[in-house]
Amino acid sequence: MEIFGSTFDDSVFSEPRERVCESLSSFTAKLCEAEWFCESSSSDTDDALEKQKVLKFRGDLALRRGNYQGALEAYSSCLQWISDNNLSIRRDVLEGMARCCTKLGQKDKALDLAELLSKEASNTCHLTSLLLLKVSIYQHFETTRSAMSCLQQLCSLLPFNPWHWFSLGQMCLQLLDSDTTTESAAGPEENQEETAELKEDQIWLKACICFIRTRLLLKILQQQQSSFVLQHSEKVLQTTEEALQRLDPTETTLQALTQVMSEDLVSEKMREDFQDGESLLSVHLQSFRERWWNKILLTGLLETHQLPETS
């Protein structure tokens, strides 16, 4: 009886076959001069894809150089050469056009382009980019409350991202420092629930919860950071602490707000809510008011609070 594994295949002792090395055809990489796409002859082609690349590159370069009118013209020409199934390039070009219109003072056109992007948004990455675009448009035209609405939606979409919370807190401070606390709510395209007018003491309270949430999230993230990333977090954390000192909530208020804003900051919950890139059809979002603001109002802090001097 043969023991399993005690025999060898004859092929083990056979002579190795000689390998025939077939010569490969020579390959020469295509070399392009710097800014080759700026030459007038580069767009003289019948290839739609090549035209799209040339015009897209021209628009990107013009935008980077601050030539917003030239970039807008290049992007507009590029749009007609983009194939229907190339959604990523189409979204990139539309966003570039919206940013150009913003810089050129064309608010309505910029928002119309953002609306086109919203109709084509199919996942959370698309929605995140769209909301950030709207924030930049509204900030440029000093429509602070509409920008706040978009940031609140970003906080609901990505609740564990400290940078959106920090930006929202900074906008609340801007409102406290300005005379725009009576500014009208956002346009009809925005969520009216998120943009209802807030009184000065409500803006103060919202600023507090944003900076408290920022501080909580940054302290969690710092455990996994190093180098310049950690340095940036420490700098923002210091700015956050200074903002809270300026807002000057009482110790009781600070503890109560910290308890509410830290309820969902557990590792299991944070992993479950990671939804970057998920289809919007499978994502259920609670509004900012439902998830945090109503809980804060239930604490009764607003009724017992006396607004400190923030100027």
Q: Which of 118, 143, 163 is the last residue of a domain?
A: 118
pLDDT at 304 over 80: no
Predicted pLDDT of residue 117: 96
DSSP of 128-176: HHHHHHHHHHHHHTT-HHHHHHHHHHHHHHSTT-HHHHHHHHHHHHHHH
Instruction: Tell me: do 273 and 246 sit in the same domain.
Output: yes
- Chain-centroid distance, C-alpha 53: 25
pLDDT of 216 higher than 90? yes
Which residues, 6 or more positions from 285, have their beta carbon under 8 angstroms from its beta carbon? Answer: 156, 157
Query: Does 86 fall in a domain?
Result: yes
Same domain, 202 and 289: yes
Rg of the chain on CA atoms, in Å:
28
Q: 237 with 308, same domain? A: yes
Specify whether the CB–CB gap between 222 and 233 falls below 8 A.
yes
Q: What backbone phi and psi angles, to 5 degrees, belong to 123? A: -145, 175
Q: What is the mean pLDDT of residues 260-277?
A: 77
pLDDT for residue 310: 38
Cα separation, 209 vs 216, in Å, equals 10
Q: Tell me the residue range of the domain where 303 lies.
A: 121-182+195-311
More confidently predicted of 18 and 190: 18
pLDDT of residue 210: 98
Whether residue 34 is contained in a domain is answered as no
Q: Is residue 9 part of a domain?
A: no
pTM assigned to the model: 0.81
174 with 292, same domain: the answer is yes
Q: Classify residue 24: in a domain, yes or no.
A: no
Indicate if 238 and 155 belong to the same structural domain. yes
Match 């590029």 to its residue by tokens.
Answer: 78
pLDDT of residue 40 exceeding 80: no
* Mean pLDDT, rounded, of the chain: 84
In a domain, 160, yes or no: yes
Q: What pLDDT score does 186 carry? A: 41
Q: Which residue has the higher pLDDT, 113 or 285?
A: 113
If asked whether residues 125 and 105 sit together in one domain, one would say no
pLDDT on residue 26? 74
CA distance 153 to 96: 22
**Number of structural domains, the chain?**
2
**Residue 270 confidence class, pLDDT cut points 50, 70, 90:** confident
User: Looking at the structure, do residues 75 and 141 belong to the same domain, yes or no?
Assistant: no
The predicted model gives 277-298 an average pLDDT of 85
Confidence check: pLDDT of 3 > 90: no
Residue 215 lies in a domain: yes
Neighbours of 30 (CB within 10 A): 4
* Residues 136 and 110 grouped into a single domain: no
- Band (pLDDT 50/70/90 cuts) for residue 238 is very high
Same domain, residue pair 108 and 149? no
Contact 293, 161 (CB under 8 A): no
Mean predicted confidence (pLDDT) in 187-210? 71
pLDDT band at residue 12 using 50, 70 and 90 as cut-offs: low
Q: What is the CATH number of the domain that holds 97?
A: 1.25.40.10
pLDDT band at 76 (very low <50, low <70, confident <90, very high): very high
Mean per-residue pLDDT, 2-18: 59
More confident residue, 193 or 273: 273
CA distance 196 to 91: 30
Of 9-18, 196-205, 253-262, the least confident: 9-18
> What does DSSP assign to residue 105?
T
Distance CA 99, CA 298 (A): 40
Rounded to whole angstroms, the Cα distance separating 295 from 141 reads 32
pLDDT of residue 193: 46
Domain limit, last residue, from 118, 138, 162: 118
